[in-house]
Amino acid sequence: MMNTKSTKFLVRTLLLALFFSFGNFFSQNNGAVGINTASPNPNSVLDVVSVNNNKGILIPRLTVTQRDAITINPANDDGLTVYNTTEDCLNYWSLADNEWKSVCGQIGKSVFTIDCANTKASGTYIQGKTLNTSHYLTVTVNVTKKGSYTITGTTTNGYNFYATGVFLNTGIQTVQVAGQGTPSAVQSDTVQLFANGVSVSCTPAVTVNVLSSAAIYSVSCGSATVNGVYTKGTALGAGNTITLPVTVTALGSYSITTNTVDGISFSGSGIFTATGNQNITLSGTGKPTSTADKVMTITSNSADGESTCNVTVIMTIPSKKILHIGLETVYGYSAFTGPSRSLMDSPTNFGTSAASVVKSGGYTHTSLGGAPSNATLLAALNTKPDIVIIGYAYTPDATASGYIANYLNNKGVVIAFEDDAASSQNMMRAIFSDPTISAANGAGAGSVYALVNTNDPILNGPFGDVRGKNWGEDASTTVNITGLTSGFIPYSYAQPINSTTPRTGISGLRHSSLNFIWFGDGGFLSNENANGNQYPSNTIEPFVAPSSGGYLPVQKSTYGYAGNGYALGGMQVQNSIIFANALAWAIKQAETNGINTQ
């Protein structure tokens, strides 16, 4: 039988030897244990002293996975402490919150990955020039655990990048990592990224080009050319560039950048090897997030002082739904048929190619014919077409005019060509909410009306400047509107330039707040030639858009009856150019302030 007293003595001797192995000595006083101290703190259970002040204490070191594998006994484990090697911080179990807490902060260190493909350097890096707030990395990260973060980017060329903060949410986020230091050599530098101290391997690598001392040069934004087609949601490619004229007075490096607008930006850099006038190319990057035209601010690094100027990038407008109301004949009264329709559908005029006059996805067309019932009209307007085009011989009554006015008040777009006095009066009274407005027939076929000299998008648009020029009446009589007092922009008055018979009123206008254009001639777009060539008459069919030019609108060179000092056909009219400008305005209004933007 084992000697119990001997066994207890051996155990006590072994424990004493172990305690002494911790340091110089072990002591116990009133329930407090001391290591390397004879007087342990009476308020502590354990008081450990580093004799030479050069040692610490180690507690269990666990990863997050290992920590979370502990089976917690809530009644006994409140305050249980470990060192979390994943977070690089002490953690303790909180009974009150029923979770592990970090002494580095309640949410501890974050977990995230860096998207190298969406990481890029901003700013111009010049040898010997200290970095400032324009020099930074834009880093895209995917956060899988909220918490604190540190992102660094290092180079071997005298400058680095650093950012720290807290991710309060998980998911894709963007961090701006500030640059600091001074580039010492002209070279291409690889930036080594670190996420919370862990090296990140990027393929391809994130690089920064350090340029030589800046040249002295000036830029000419007014003569810049924006190349390529720009469509919402489509990434910019090699053809999306800006050709920028510059004048160089002293050789050296150049770096020209733009701001980022709705997801896109442009930049270019290099070395000038000759002085004088020359062009440089700024390459585009990114993906447009809206259809709004984008004003890009160009900034250069010329050594004579940073300079800026602006260039506008024109966006492609998506396809629009057109509702046509008018006779479906070769004349093209409502642009559903004839050369006016060909003008609309021509990619030369409205298309997605770099050569298109207006960058547009085109149109889808629906026609109600020349005499739709009011019920048919209302049903069609309730489908919310982007634009309504009205031509001969539609004659809306008061009810139909009310439907059209309501469509306009809901931000619809209407281009109306009318030569019936009663229906024109109905339309004007409904749209302007004024029962005193009157309409009357005026001069007849071949009348020529002067356009006002007002800077307006219809009179001075992408297809030409027709301010101070003319439009021509077709085969019927022009409608003149009187009683309008405000809320409109006049385009032409009732008096033809080739007539001495006095006329009063307005023969063409645009509403100043609604999307409404009107001319008092239902045959404004008339031309029976399928090829759009000039019809051989001086008093009818004033619309011209030759197929040989891609149905590009041009003036009719000989028009008008003789009178008031003008010879027969001695005038020029601009009907097709006015219509094309009106369409360009209409699709932009429909996109930015139309019935389908609400």
Give the H or E element holding residue 91.
Answer: strand 89-94
Q: Is the dihedral of CA 394, 399, 401, 403 positive or negative?
A: negative
Pull the structure tokens for residue 525. Answer: 């777009």
Return d(Cα 152, Cα 144) in angstroms, integer: 19
Q: Which of 117, 122, 78 is nearest to 100 (CA)?
A: 78
Structure tokens at 588: 């932009």
- Please state the domain extents for the chain: 61-102, 111-211, 216-313, 320-593
Would 111-211 and 216-313 be classified into the same CATH topology?
Answer: yes
> Helices 421-432 and 398-409 meet at what angle, rounded to 10?
40
Q: How many H-runs (helices) and E-runs (strands) does the chain carry? A: 7, 41
DSSP type of residue 373 = -
Q: Which amino acid is at 57?
A: I
pLDDT digits (tens, 9 = 90+) for 348-407: 999 988 789 999 999 999 999 999 999 999 999 999 999 999 999 999 999 999 999 999
Please give the backbone phi and psi of residue 279, each rounded to the nearest 5 degrees, phi first: -110, 145
d(CA 246, CA 244): 6
Angstrom distances, CA of residue 112 to CA of 137, 174, 193, 346: 17, 12, 13, 51
Task: Provide the CATH number for the domain formed by 320-593 in this structure.
Answer: 3.40.50.880
CATH class of 111-211: mainly beta
Q: Which of 443, 560, 445, 433 lies closest to 504, judged by CA?
A: 443
- Measured between alpha carbons, how far is residue 332 from residues 120, 181, 338, 522, 568 in Å? 53, 68, 4, 10, 25
Count CB neighbours of 214 within 10 A.
22
Tokens 């062009």 appear where?
279
Give long-range contacts, CB 8 A cutoff, 24+ apart: 24-32: 24/51
For residue range 185-200, what is the model confidence (pLDDT) as tens digits? 989 999 999 999 899 9
The alpha carbons of the chain give a radius of gyration, in whole angstroms, of 39
Convert 477-515 to b/e letters by CB count within 10 Å (16 or more is b): bbbbbebbeeebebbbbbbbbbbeeebebbbbbbbeebb
Give the pLDDT confidence score for residue 309 in this predicted structure. Answer: 85
Of 112, 49, 101, residue with least CA distance to 78: 101
Cβ-based neighbour number of residue 536 at 10 Å? 9
Superfamily of structural domain 216-313 = Immunoglobulins (2.60.40.10)
Low-confidence ranges of the chain (pLDDT < 70): 1-30, 105-107, 305-307
Nearest-5° angle of CA 506, CA 508, CA 509? 95
With residues binned 3-state (H G I as helix, E B as strand, rest as coil), the percentages for the chain, rounded to 5, are 15, 40, 45
CB 125 within 8 A of CB 135: yes
**C-beta of residue 203 within 8 angstroms of C-beta of residue 256:** no
CA 408 to chain CA centroid, nearest Å = 27
